[in-house]
A and B are shown apart, each in its own frame.
Chain A
Amino acid sequence: DTGVSQDPRHKITKRGQNVTFRCDPISEHNRLYWYRQTLGQGPEFLTYFQNEAQLEKSRLLSDRFSAERPKGSFSTLEIQRTEQGDSAMYLCASSFGQAGGTDTQYFGPGTRLTVL
């Protein structure tokens, strides 16, 4: 069990550019979550996958954001036409869940995005 990994750890981009982040969950975890954390705040939910299906999206996820989990393993989060307000830490979490139960989410180290 190598834990949740995220790549890159840091990304600096110019306003208007597109960026893509990758998350590799703990193997055999069927659920994967994306959160965003700004300085001094708790993480805020963005979106959630069960296997390859995207089951829930937050209102925070504007149409410039898209997430995929094509084979139910790793996931990517893309931000198009970045804005300075997108600067934040993007966190990925995974869990193994069964119907009706409470699953425990394990977090990766995050990708820190700075938009200049």
Chain B
Amino acid sequence: GNSVTQMEGPVTLSEEAFLTINCTYTATGYPSLFWYVQYPGEGLQLLLKATKADDKGSNKGFEATYRKETTSFHLEKGSVQVSDSAVYFCALSDMDTGRRALTFGSGTRLQVQP
């Protein structure tokens, strides 16, 4: 079956530090990959996505590259801000198997200190 594994949190960084949140996946077919973010007290928001190998998704300074050879989709940001403090979820959908539902990782909490 499909699964997503994320690094455990919390990840605590100082403002302007470099961020990497690791995400690896297993999938039966050729999935699309997503990062969602959940700010405190708010719902899940799509941060970025990639639908094929070597695609780079980017938004709000965050980037992630679809690496088929390593089955990974790591999230990066060059300089984090306090406002980036949130829980980040990696997810996939596997259209090859006809499953439109998203399979999520368990989430990684990011805490950015001023």
Contact = CB atoms under 8 A, between A and B. Distances in A.
A108 interface: yes
A107 B43 contact: yes
A106 B51 contact: no
A21 interface: no
B45 interface: yes
Interface of A is mostly: loop
A42 B101 contact: no
B42 A102 contact: no
Interface string B18-32: 000000000000001
Nearest to A97: B100
**Smallest CB-CB A-B distances: 8 pairs:** A42-B104, A45-B101, A107-B44, A109-B43, A102-B32, A107-B43, A42-B106, A102-B51
30 contacts: A4-B43, A33-B101, A35-B102, A40-B106, A40-B107, A42-B4, A42-B89, A42-B91, A42-B104, A42-B106, A43-B44, A43-B89, A43-B102, A43-B104, A44-B104, A45-B101, A45-B102, A56-B99, A58-B101, A97-B100, A102-B32, A102-B51, A102-B95, A104-B49, A105-B102, A106-B46, A107-B36, A107-B43, A107-B44, A109-B42
